Amino acid sequence: MKKLGIGLLVLLVVGIAGTYYLEIWLGKRIPEVINANPDRNYDLQFEEIDIHLLKKGVELKKIMLVPLDDSLATKMNGSIRSIEMSGVDFLALIFNNKLEIGEIKLLEPAFRLIQRDRKSNANESSKAFQDLFKDLISRGVIKNFFLEKGTAEMFMDKDSLYRFGQFTDLTIVAHGIESDSLIAKNVIPFKLESIATSLKNLKINTDTNQEFRIAEASYSSGKNIGTLKGISLKYNEGLDGARSKSEFQKDLIQLDIKEFELSQIDTESTIYGNWAIFAKLARIDSLVLEDLRDKNKPRPDEPIKPLFEGMVEAIPFPIKLDSIKVTNSTISYKEILQGKNEPIQLNFQEIQGSITNLVSSDSLQNQGSLLVDVTSVLNGFAPVKMKIDIPYGTKSFALDASIGSFNLTALNEIFEPMGKFRVESGTLRGLKLSMDANEKGSSNQLNFDYENLKLEIYKSDGQQRSKNGILSSVANLLTSKENLPGSKNYKISTHWTSRNPYRAPFHLIWISTKDGMMAIVPSGLGNIFMPDSKK
């Protein structure tokens, strides 16, 4: 028994000593294996390593991510608080110099992305992160990958480093990775069983002095849903500041979106490498879009503006969405007229509706149509409905729009800033517009039904505004007080409107409506409705 006890004690001591020296040997071998891939773009340099043979675990601490190719247009560096590996096959490491890991976890990585090419975009940045994760996972056979509490800063290297973006709280959970099967669709670019990702506080400064933000983004392959919350695109100095700095007249646009959700996402979709988004359903909740144009600014030499089909085709990556649901949204158009300081404003509020078959690529359109069907309320008083049929491949569109009944005096908030007239009384019973439009213009029919219309015309006395009694009397004599279906002199306008090719299709819709209204209101009164520069 004594000899047996001594033997066991010796075996225990040898085992402990062997384990100790094996852990020391592995502590030297693992760094060599981790950085052994000749095709790697990064070295992992760390200060501490803990080996846990019995638990089949390895922990690296205080890691530095060091790029090996300094000539890359987009490169990454940074630090990682620790990398935890579990389910490590130490026998494969000892006898085959191969890392086989059940699970790897990156804790609190802090990445720095540096772009040298000013033309690089978010597409290039996302691909840089994808290439990094590919580089890390390609160092062994890794079944599951976790990343927690990741942060990143994005810089432009132009004489000195300029930070143009950042995000926090990056989380990645990827199961069932097949590291010998590349699929460039995911942030982890391999075939895998499931993946869930999220991040917060994304901020990107654009070349137009705007800041793009996403408060929270997430994607789950299990639920097949991607969600973006708290989206905004705003000028750093606000719309008025951007207008004052703008040399030319242009549309200054900023927006907020409470939530954007994609569901039933097709496997062909990717936001890494070459972007492509294919999904059955998209949902936009609480979009608030502002568009400001100052007509006191000179117009620049502008390219010809496309119709709706061309606007969709201009999306810089393939997109195919079967249906988009829009809820609780507002679009505001503000225009400062020539010689004026304050804008007139059109607010389309309470927008609800759907967009069907949004396809940006010619090869995917298959001669179908993009359909838009929305309702809204104009400036809080006028119910609006609009349907647009945009056949792909034709450079045309058909539109049916209507405005419901309201008191016409409500229009004074729009017309009075023009300094020409105000509506003293009147009721709109309904306005309907039908358009068949192409690149040259539109063939239109307008019904403009109203009653008890009475106008008050202003004198042109510089900044002073006073009623012109004579013109008011003449205007009300020339104007039919009513234009209602069934009346003897009921008018419907059927007319052609030429398109200004340097303005967007919404401008053609407005001009077609105005032309029809001016045809129904006596033509001699038309000058009253138009600013002096347009007479």
The per-residue pLDDT for range 161-175, each reduced to its tens digit, is 888 899 999 999 999
Give the whole-angstrom CA distance, residue 127 versus residue 75: 10
Torsion of CA 386, 391, 396, 397, to 10 degrees: -10
Other C-beta atoms within 10 Å of 81: how many? Answer: 15
Which residue reads 């879009």 in tokens? 289
Instruction: Give residue for tokens 């679009």.
Output: 331
14 — pLDDT class (breaks 50, 70, 90) = very low
Residue 178 or residue 25, greater confidence: 178
Predicted confidence band of residue 15 (pLDDT cuts 50, 70, 90):
very low
Element containing residue 496 per DSSP (H, E): strand 492-498
Confidence of residue 118 (pLDDT cuts 50, 70, 90): low
Q: What is the pLDDT of residue 523?
A: 43
pLDDT tens for residues 397-435? 999 999 999 998 888 887 776 666 678 888 999 999 999
What pLDDT score does 159 carry? 77
CA atoms of 532 and 384, how far apart (whole Å): 29
pLDDT 10s digits, 34-82: 888 888 888 889 888 888 877 888 888 999 999 887 777 788 899 999 9
Q: How far is 10 from 8, CA to CA, in rounded Å?
A: 5
The rounded distance, in Å, linking the Cα atoms of 33 and 44 is: 11
Distances (CA, A) of 310 to 67, 281, 313, 371, 505: 42, 22, 5, 15, 10
pLDDT-derived band at 327, boundaries 50, 70, 90? very high
Cα–Cα distances in Å, from 98 out to 46, 88, 192, 490?
A: 19, 10, 21, 88
Is the pLDDT at 232 greater than 90, yes or no?
Answer: yes
pTM for the full model?
Answer: 0.85
Residue 286: which pLDDT band, with cuts at 50, 70 and 90? very high
Which tokens is 199 given?
């991040």
Q: What is the pLDDT of residue 465?
A: 59
Whether the per-residue pLDDT at 27 is higher than 70: the answer is: no
Residue 256: which of 233, 239, 236, 237 has the closest Cα? 233
State mean pLDDT over 81-95: 85
**pLDDT confidence of 96, banded at 50, 70, 90?**
confident
pLDDT for 126 equals 80
What are the tens digits of pLDDT across the range 469-522? 555 555 555 566 788 998 888 999 999 999 999 888 988 998 898 888 878 875
State residue 1's pLDDT score.
57
